[in-house]
Amino acid sequence: MSIVWTLLGTFGQLMLAVCLFMLVAFSAGGLVNGGDFRPAQVRVLDLSALVLPGTCLWSAAIVLVRHWQGAGAQSYAWYALPLGATALYLIYFSFLVHQSRGGR
């Protein structure tokens, strides 16, 4: 693993964390402001604002630790962790949008 690629990937993950926070803040805020949702659903959206950026930080930390341990290039696959979490958020979000429109 190259230190340059590890640092560039880590910097990219930090920028992605900010973008994901803004994505959740604006999308969830707009959805909840215009709809009537159960408190549990709102809590999941609120928690998503912390979890999605947290996956970026977590994956960057894992890659850094793996780099210090001398792992191979396959450790870069951890950078994909936020993509899976974002996909789960978008599926849940689209479910709530569908629910707020009354099944239309």
Task: Give 28-57 pLDDT, tens digit per residue.
Answer: 999 999 878 999 999 999 999 999 999 999
- Residue 24 to residue 56: CA distance in whole angstroms: 14
Measured between alpha carbons, how far is residue 35 from residues 6, 27, 45 in Å? 42, 12, 13
pLDDT greater than 80 at residue 103:
no
Neighbours of 19 (CB within 10 A): 14
Q: Tell me, what DSSP letter sits at residue 83?
A: H
Which residue ranges make up each domain of the chain? 3-100
Helices (H), the chain: 3-33, 39-68, 81-100
- Residue 68 to residue 12: CA distance in whole angstroms: 19
- Is the whole-model pTM more than 0.95? no
Q: What is the pLDDT of residue 101?
A: 82
Q: pLDDT tens digits, residue range 45-98?
A: 999 999 999 999 999 999 999 999 988 889 999 999 999 999 999 999 999 999
